[in-house]
Amino acid sequence: MAPSNAPFSTLPPSTPPERIAVKTAELGEGLTIGRALPSRQRRMVGAWCFLDHIGPIDFSNKHGLHVGAHPHTCLQTFTWMIEGQLLHRDSLGSEQVIRPGQVNLMTAGHGIVHTEDSLPDSTTLHAAQLWIALPPEHADIAPAFDHYPTLPTWQADGLNFTLLAGSWGQQQAPTRLYSPLVGLDLTSQQVGRTVLPLRPDFEYGLLPLAGTVHIDGKDFTPSDFAYLGIQREQLTLELASDSRCLLLGGRPFENPITMWWNFVGHSQALVAQAQRDWENGAPRFGRVVGDDNRRLTAPPLPWRTA
Ligand code: MN
């Protein structure tokens, strides 16, 4: 028994990771992806409100990935490319190929439209696509597009780290953020074990993108998202050889959001308005020049409107 004056943490003991099955979803044209967020059990991790794991896919005998013009509001789309290439085009006139090790960050704010296409000579694709909800005070900001060709990388404990968003120790990612967040990619060639310091005011989640990750005595693979909760001071991870995982964290998002189709909003009324504006071709969303023939149609709203 510990002496009564022993120093102790004021934090409750960390709960074991919550295992959440990654759903499969269709991204069109028979392309199946893994969707880790949102789920019935967990809508968000900080402001991270959407997490798709795309691939790894071999397009050699397939059509590739082609997503026609569609709108977004009140969020940022965040693409982390692991393998392959995608061409992004948007209503601001941006035209950007994203390659492995790079991030595309599109801030929708008031409204933006974009397309995404794999390139004819690119036969593989492996990526994570995330959304970040904008807090109310930034929900309606002007749209923007940022491409980050390089991000902070380092090696420790036999693992390779890439900081995708936020800060980690002395490292700072360049990515434009509107709430306290972190995104960290870890890869292993050999078996690797590391202890990561965490912020107790952040909640965290981890998605294996390849191989196996061992957390608190449990194995996680890309079919399971590990929700790690809040008030953890550290996390011990073991990666099997040739594994990869994505650690997401953020201060719990205080404002409930409405997510429907490609819209985020701070009320159902705002999402319904965005939907009407898209259907009516309102100037709010602009055009991806030359791509009007691939304009996607929003499904009907899932709730009754006045
Ligand atoms: Mn999109």
DSSP string, 108-166: -TT-EEEEEEE-TT--EEEEEEEEEEPPGGGTTPPPEEEEES---EEEETTEEEEEEES
Cα 232 to middle of ligand 1, angstroms: 33
pLDDT digits (tens, 9 = 90+) for 287-301: 998 887 899 999 999
pLDDT digits (tens, 9 = 90+) for 60-103: 777 888 999 999 999 999 999 999 999 999 999 999 999 999 99
Cα 108 to middle of ligand 1, angstroms: 10
Name the band, by pLDDT with cuts 50, 70 and 90, for residue 14.
low
Cα 140 to middle of ligand 1, angstroms: 17
Cα 259 to middle of ligand 1, angstroms: 13
Distances from the Cα of 226 to the Cα of 16, 25, 39, 52, 223, angstroms = 9, 19, 12, 14, 10
Give the other-Cβ count within 10 Å of 190's Cβ.
10
Cα 4 to middle of ligand 1, angstroms: 56
Cα 264 to middle of ligand 1, angstroms: 12
pLDDT for 22: 98
Mean pLDDT on 221-232: 97
Name the band, by pLDDT with cuts 50, 70 and 90, for residue 306.
low
* Among the listed residues 183, 205, 189, 182, the one whose alpha carbon sits nearest the alpha carbon of residue 157: 189
Cα 115 to middle of ligand 1, angstroms: 7
Dig out the tokens for 79 from the structure: 């693409």
Cα 43 to middle of ligand 1, angstroms: 18
What's the CA gap between 214 and 247, in Å, rounded? 13
Cα 169 to middle of ligand 1, angstroms: 32
Cα 96 to middle of ligand 1, angstroms: 14
pLDDT for 2: 38
pTM for the structure as a whole: 0.94
